[in-house]
Chains A and B, each alone.
Chain A
Amino acid sequence: MNLVSVIIAAEDPTQSHHWLFPEIGEIIYGGLASLAIFFALYKFGWPAAKKALETRTATIQKELDDSANARRQAETDAANIRKALGDVASERAKLLAEADAQAAAILAEGRARITAEVADMEARANAEIAAARSRIGDELRAEIARLSAAATASVVRSALDDRAHQDLVDGFIAKVGASR
């Protein structure tokens, strides 16, 4: 038994028409009115709704595009920042390397200069020591020679008696006489 059979079986015999279905005229008028309403809605409501929908779609699309653009710009900025950070790190490393190189060069130059100065000072000190040693040696020799000569002169002077003086005079005369 289908649904229509059930509905017909439940029909009230006191009613002029079925309780569920409207009368034929009501259906016709109602249907025409509905068609008119649907037509009016299609004719006047649909374009407005469609336009509103398109506007909304365009707005959403524009926001999506703006968001995409903003994201791309942000990514570009981020990339630039990352690149700049990388450059800064590279520049820092380069500056540090140059500073290290300069410090090493200055240190090496300073060591070389100090080494040369120390060597020069040592050489001069050695020369002065040698000169002082030589000078002291010379002075000592001169003093010894002077003292020896003075002592010798004193000894010789005391040893020269009249006879020796006469012999020296005779020796001079003989020497001068023999020179011609």
Chain B
Amino acid sequence: MSAQKINGYVAAMFEVAVANEALAVVEDEMFRLARAYESNDQLRSSLGDSSLPTERRQKIVEQLLGGKAHNVTVQLASMLVGTGHVALLPEVADALVKRASSEKQQEVAEVRSAVALNDAQKTRISEALAKATGKKLNLKVVVDPSVIGGIVATVGDEVIDDTVRTRLDQVKSRF
């Protein structure tokens, strides 16, 4: 049932984004919003709090994204909140990114870093991963302090992990 809903939302969002010629921007912003939703407990509880009026929760989304995100992104996120399916945001965003990448014959490459990456670093990482995997990539960067340092990249089923957290885990497992 969830998969059906997710596919329905993704199809609708995809068509709306394409119609507004903002697919690349929307899928990137939805991806970042989903990661923020996953990592922020307060945001998750606020948007998922059914005791709050729907209009109030949609207002939170608009205040959060207003002026920083494309209008289509704000409307789509607000729609998810309004239909009471905001919990599906991470899956919907990931599926949207995957579909948008497929349209461009690209594979999604999720890169998690402890610190924000500049454009030059993103380009170098994207080129290096494309060279390593032999695929055209749609790079998605997630700032994740839990990795402590370094980068972990996921391309399809392949994971390239060079993070400090993993090295510490390896040391911990030797105790």
Q: How far is A144 from B175 in the complex, measured between Cα atoms in Å?
A: 8
Cβ of B60 within 8 Å of any chain A Cβ, yes or no, is no
- Find chain A residues with CB under 8 A from B153 CB: 172, 176
Are B168 and A149 within 8 A (Cβ)?
yes
CB contact between B115 and one of A148, A156, A162 (< 8 Å): that residue: A162
Are B164 and A148 within 8 A (Cβ)?
no
The 8 A CB mask of B101-145 against A (1 = contact, 0 = none) is 000000000000111010001001100110110000000000000
Which residues A43-62 have CB closer than 8 A to chain B?
Answer: none
Cβ of B160 within 8 Å of any chain A Cβ, yes or no, is yes
Are B172 and A148 within 8 A (Cβ)?
yes
Cβ of A135 within 8 Å of any chain B Cβ, yes or no, is no
Cβ of A25 within 8 Å of any chain B Cβ, yes or no, is no
Which residues A150-180 have CB closer than 8 A to chain B?
Answer: 152-153, 156-157, 160, 162, 164-165, 168-169, 171-173, 175-177, 179-180
Q: How far is A73 from B90 in the complex, measured between Cα atoms in Å?
A: 119
Q: How far is A149 from B150 in the complex, measured between Cα atoms in Å?
A: 17
Cβ of A92 within 8 Å of any chain B Cβ, yes or no, is no
- Find chain B residues with CB under 8 A from A132 CB: none
Are B172 and A168 within 8 A (Cβ)?
no
- Find chain A residues with CB under 8 A from B128 CB: 173, 176-177
Q: How far is A175 from B128 in the complex, measured between Cα atoms in Å?
A: 9
The 8 A CB mask of B72-106 against A (1 = contact, 0 = none) is 00000000000000000000000000000000000
- Find chain A residues with CB under 8 A from B149 CB: 156-157, 160, 164-165, 168
Q: How far is the CB of B129 from chain A (nearest CB, A)?
A: 6
- Find chain A residues with CB under 8 A from B114 CB: 160, 165, 168
CB nearest neighbor in B for A142 = B175
Contact A145/B175 with A169-B121, A176-B132 known, Cβ cut-off 8 Å: yes
- Find chain A residues with CB under 8 A from B124 CB: 173
Q: How far is the CB of A173 from chain B (nearest CB, A)?
A: 5
Contact A171/B150 with A162-B115, A176-B160 known, Cβ cut-off 8 Å: yes
CB contact between A168 and one of B132, B162, B169 (< 8 Å): that residue: B162
Q: How far is the CB of B146 from chain A (nearest CB, A)?
A: 10
Q: How far is the CB of A177 from chain B (nearest CB, A)?
A: 5
Residues of B that sit less than 8 Å from A by CB: 113-115, 117, 121, 124-125, 128-129, 131-132, 148-151, 153, 160, 162, 164-165, 168-169, 171-173, 175
Nearest 7 A/B pairs, CB to CB: A145-B175, A149-B172, A172-B151, A176-B128, A168-B150, A172-B162, A177-B128
